[in-house]
Structure 1
Amino acid sequence: MLLHELVTTTDAVTATRSRLAKVEALAELLRRLEPDEIAPAVGFLVGKPRQGRVGVGWRGMEAAMGSPAEQASLSVADLDAVLDQLLAMAGGGTGSSAARAEVLRSLTARATATEQDLIGRVLLGEVRTGALEGVLTDAVARASDRPIASVRRAAMLSGDLGETTRLALTGTAEELDSVGLVVGRPVLPMLAGTAASAAAALEATGEASVEFKLDGARIQVHRSGDDIRVFTRNLADITHRLPEVVDVVRRMPVHDVILDGETLALDEDGAPRPFQETMSTFGADAARTTVLHPWFFDVLHLDGRDLLDEPLAIRIAELERIAPANRIQGEVTSDPEVAERVSRDALAAGHEGVVVKAIGSTYAAGRRGSSWIKVKPVHTYDLVVLACEWGSGRRTGLLSNLHLGALDPTGEFGEPGGYVMVGKTFKGLTDALLRWQTERFQEIEVRRTAGTVWVEPITVVEIAIDGVQRSSRYPGGIALRFARVKSYRDDKPATDADTIQTLRAMLRE
């Protein structure tokens, strides 16, 4: 299959809001793939090539982008083969950088402009096609005429949507259903929905375990005898980075176990350190002094017994038996007042909030109904629009991604009375807002490049965030976490926007 066909399909998927239309477009594409193209194509669609990251960064990608080809000729197999080649050349020593650059230039020279764009986003991990894994999983079921429950379960237990797709499309129903839980092979994680309060979450779940939501990094730990492996939420093996987690699990009175949990750094008083500090430690291969502490909230397998389909009440009891000192704090209740108290306790202890989990729920990858619901306080700030990037896909021709600035009244980070950039967002914008800001920002434009329009800093927008984190990317030393637009504030002048000092005060010292 030509790579152009993936581009055409992803454009169609991005251009529609209809989930059914997305599913059908993806299913039609999957039906046309050859068996050896299936896993690579699925990886490209969801921005997770089977080779993982192959060591190509922004500079390398930019340097490799020459004039595009006029005619589409690259195939899915061609791109997959080049990624194999780049991966094999990674860290190859003297001369390898030049050789990798030449391989990349040769690839992009054969690609059309739209194919170059897709290749760049795949290599840099920036695919945003709308072909999310949940939609694609539904498309696999449609294309293969297999039950959606079978496809979802096989994908969860194998941790590999590409291989699941190949099996669904080319194997038998029995082969798909035979995919089982294997200690040592990571499982796709269960995720939580959201609610405004612990009481509201409890109303949706009924009796539930209300547990502290830690501001840490998700981990999944597999032990088989003396062999212990630690995986990230994206199923990357990071065992070598977390010897303290390995030591904790090694001391447990078990032979085989699969645990789901979080790890984070604590200060000298036992309070959680900022998320960014945990993540910088979490991602470090070099020697470090900061210790990451593990806490577990679920157990999926225990000494030959799969627990995925057991109710949460049983899984909690087993977890309490084998890891009482490392179980995440929480209470089982059906009382909204108790749920709210646990939520207050979690926030007072410096954590993000709570997760409310139906006590009878089983474990299923992704967000499935209202079995797990997270509750976190939302902060809103009035910030100033500094620039806006042109959109793509369904937003082509519209100004979409906002550059957001906070007021710097004292000039601590720039000019007194100026604005310090603290992040970007394209989330929360309705079609009406997109049309309005496209027209408005061109009226107050001060300069532009091919992709961005800079504007007079006079437009105030109310932004909801989950918090801030330390960042060297912006001059104020912070970046917004999970920013989304609530509304524009026509009633407020830019001089009344929130300050960089106010945002920086959110950092836990």
Structure 2
Amino acid sequence: MLLADVVTTSAAVAGTRSRLAKVKALAGLLAQAGPGAIEPAVAFLAGAPRQGRTGAGWRTLYDLAATPSDVPELTVERTDSILEELSRTSGKGSAQKRVDLLTELFTAATQQEQDFLRRLMTGELRQGALEGVMLDAIASAAEVPGEAVRRAFMLCGRLTVTAVAALTGGEQELKGFKLEVGRPVRPMLASPAESLESALAELGEYIVEYKMDGARIQVHKDGDDVHVYTRTLREITESVPELVDLVRGLLCRTVVLDGETLALTDDGKPRPFQETMSRFGATSQRELLLRPYFFDCLHLDGVDLLDTPLRERNEALHKAVGEHVIPGGRTDAEQILADSLEAGHEGVMVKALDSLYAAGRRGKSWQKVKPEHTLDLVVLAAEWGHGRRTGYLSNLHLGARDPDGGPPIMVGKTFKGMTDELLAWQTKALQEIQSQAGDWVVHVRPEFVVEIELDGAQVSTRYPGGVALRFARVVRYRPDKDPAEADTIDAVRALLPGKGGI
């Protein structure tokens, strides 16, 4: 398959807001892909090389002296092969070797292909082929049920692997994906509730649990072999030996657990979220210990529980982890909420007892109740500050996720809620991912998610989404989330007066 076909499809997807049109364009391309082109083509269209980081920096790519080809002859397979070699290049002489490989690749590419490759390799390719859109396109191209594709993706966690299975083996191949102890599955997500009362009324039989200000973890145990993953499925086993030791000591042979972990003060109160997250980037144990609280059990001693209702999974959970179950109960919801807030946590989760584990989805069967309303938004740019903030990037431009796969939609700005420490970190971090810089504003690649507390939303013609945040302030950055997990423009619009908002 020619890379030019991928570039053309990428432009078509970027040029429309229609989800159906995006799916049709992507499916048309995937249906023509040979076995060797499927995986890299899906990766390219999803916005990143199959290899992830290739070691080629922004400056190297944009300073590269490579005369473009006049004829589109570069294939997807050759492009992927060079990127693979590039990602494996290290050691003495690696800098020159990278330049040589990049020159070979870019000389074989047309002008349009060079532009595509630069944006692909620097994370600036935002043509709208987000997860949900790509999954629908894979199903359409392979002529298989969308649910079969989504379930396979849930269990393997990789778009490229899911696409290869669907397009080469059809529904039968997709059915071969099973829950595998040691391989993380995508976590189930919750939706915000209007109030505790509305959540209880909507969900029928329920369980109410503390909503903690910690970090999501997924733990897999097979005998003495234990693995710990973040919500983005990144393995952090070596950084959290105290969690590994605790899980290794559980009285079960195999188990897959979903939960939360956080650092506590001496009096049992939660420490700031940033202190918990600091452990996830460490390469060895630190003095700050993490405490796990588990709230779901997806597998226990040879029995998969994904397709069983929460009431049964909850029984298995208590059997597996005992005292390490997250606090909560099936009665006295208001008291549980009050106790959670008194203990320093965010609120509560209300979950339907008949709900199945819908990995990767933000459904209504799990609802989060918090007294202060927050949104997770994407940082699009920042303005240089004035007065005491001179020299710091201060006023953030905030975007909500487009549910149809387009780029984030700007919904407001804020400079409130930032400490001096956060301003210093933010100034350095945002400049490292800048895509365009002017005299007073620095535009950045949409990589950072920030949690914003707000008083509501209002209709506005100032921003393209037709809505603006009211009295927004920064709570914290969310390094445990990526832009695909940010709140959508629909979630912002739901906060408008008369829409059930704050």
Partners of 1:199 and 1:339 within 8 A in 2: no
Letter of the aligned partner of 1:403 in structure 2? Answer: A
Q: Report the alpha carbon displacement of residue 43 of structure 1 after superposing the two structures with TM.
A: 1.9
Distance 1:52 1:234, change over 3 A: farther
Structure 1 unaligned regions, length at least 5: 381-399, 438-459, 491-497
Q: Could you report, residue by residue, the CA deviation over 1:171-218 in whole angstroms, capped at 9, with x for unpaired residues?
A: 143232232111112212222223333333333333222222333332
Indicate yes or no: 2:397 matched with 1:424: yes
What is residue 50 of structure 1 aligned with on the other side? 50
| CA distance in structure 2 between the aligned counterparts of 1:269 and 1:120, rounded to whole angstroms | 51
Q: Report the alpha carbon displacement of residue 41 of structure 1 after superposing the two structures with TM.
A: 1.7
| CA distance in structure 1 between the aligned counterparts of 2:86 and 2:205, rounded to whole angstroms | 51
Indicate yes or no: 2:275 matched with 1:284: no
23-32 or 106-115, which deviates more? 106-115
Matches within 5 A, 1:210-249: 210-249=208-247
What is residue 323 of structure 1 aligned with on the other side? 321
Letter of the aligned partner of 1:364 in structure 2? Answer: A
Indicate yes or no: 2:389 matched with 1:413: yes
Letter of the aligned partner of 2:382 in structure 1? Answer: H
309-318 or 62-71, which deviates more? 62-71
Q: Report the alpha carbon displacement of residue 153 of structure 1 after superposing the two structures with TM.
A: 1.4
Partners of 2:451 and 2:477 within 8 A in 1: no
Structure 2 unaligned regions, length at least 5: 431-447, 462-469, 479-502
Partners of 1:65 and 1:116 within 8 A in 2: no
What is residue 496 of structure 2 aligned with on the other side? none
What is residue 346 of structure 1 aligned with on the other side? 340
Q: Could you report, residue by residue, the CA deviation over 1:269-323 in whole angstroms, capped at 9, with x for unpaired residues?
A: 3332333332232022255333233222211110010100111111112112221
What is residue 37 of structure 1 aligned with on the other side? 37
> Of the candidates 117, 121, 124, which is equivalent to residue 123 of structure 1?
121
| CA distance in structure 2 between the aligned counterparts of 1:467 and 1:361, rounded to whole angstroms | 39
SS at the partner of 2:426? Answer: coil
SS at the partner of 1:73? Answer: coil
RMSD: 4.0
Partners of 1:379 and 1:466 within 8 A in 2: no
Partners of 2:252 and 2:301 within 8 A in 1: yes
Matches within 5 A, 1:57-206: 57-64=57-64, 69-89=69-89, 92-206=90-204
What is residue 443 of structure 2 aligned with on the other side? none
Distance 1:378 1:87, change over 3 A: same
What is residue 465 of structure 2 aligned with on the other side? none
Letter of the aligned partner of 2:450 in structure 1? Answer: R
Letter of the aligned partner of 2:296 in structure 1? Answer: D
SS at the partner of 2:330? Answer: strand
Partners of 2:397 and 2:412 within 8 A in 1: no
Partners of 1:461 and 1:489 within 8 A in 2: no
Partners of 1:471 and 1:477 within 8 A in 2: no
Identity of aligned residues (%): 46
| CA distance in structure 2 between the aligned counterparts of 1:97 and 1:240, rounded to whole angstroms | 30
| CA distance in structure 1 between the aligned counterparts of 2:43 and 2:425, rounded to whole angstroms | 29
Indicate yes or no: 2:365 matched with 1:403: no
| CA distance in structure 1 between the aligned counterparts of 2:359 and 2:417, rounded to whole angstroms | 24
| CA distance in structure 2 between the aligned counterparts of 1:218 and 1:178, rounded to whole angstroms | 28
What is residue 422 of structure 2 aligned with on the other side? 470
Q: Report the alpha carbon displacement of residue 506 of structure 1 after superposing the two structures with TM.
A: 12
Partners of 2:240 and 2:280 within 8 A in 1: yes
Partners of 1:402 and 1:424 within 8 A in 2: yes
What is residue 251 of structure 1 aligned with on the other side? 249
SS at the partner of 1:474? Answer: helix
| CA distance in structure 1 between the aligned counterparts of 2:95 and 2:427, rounded to whole angstroms | 31
What is residue 481 of structure 1 aligned with on the other side? 450
| CA distance in structure 2 between the aligned counterparts of 1:503 and 1:220, rounded to whole angstroms | 27
| CA distance in structure 1 between the aligned counterparts of 2:312 and 2:329, rounded to whole angstroms | 14
| CA distance in structure 1 between the aligned counterparts of 2:428 and 2:52, rounded to whole angstroms | 33
> Of the candidates 195, 198, 207, which is equivalent to residue 209 of structure 1?
207
Partners of 1:199 and 1:340 within 8 A in 2: no
Q: Report the alpha carbon displacement of residue 166 of structure 1 after superposing the two structures with TM.
A: 1.3
| CA distance in structure 1 between the aligned counterparts of 2:396 and 2:302, rounded to whole angstroms | 47
Q: Could you report, residue by residue, the CA deviation over 1:402-434 in whole angstroms, capped at 9, with x for unpaired residues?
A: 53577x6xx43338xxx95143323389xxxx9
What is residue 5 of structure 1 aligned with on the other side? 5
> Of the candidates 243, 257, 260, which is equivalent to residue 258 of structure 2?
260
Letter of the aligned partner of 1:243 in structure 2? Answer: P
**TM-score scaled by length of structure 1:** 0.75
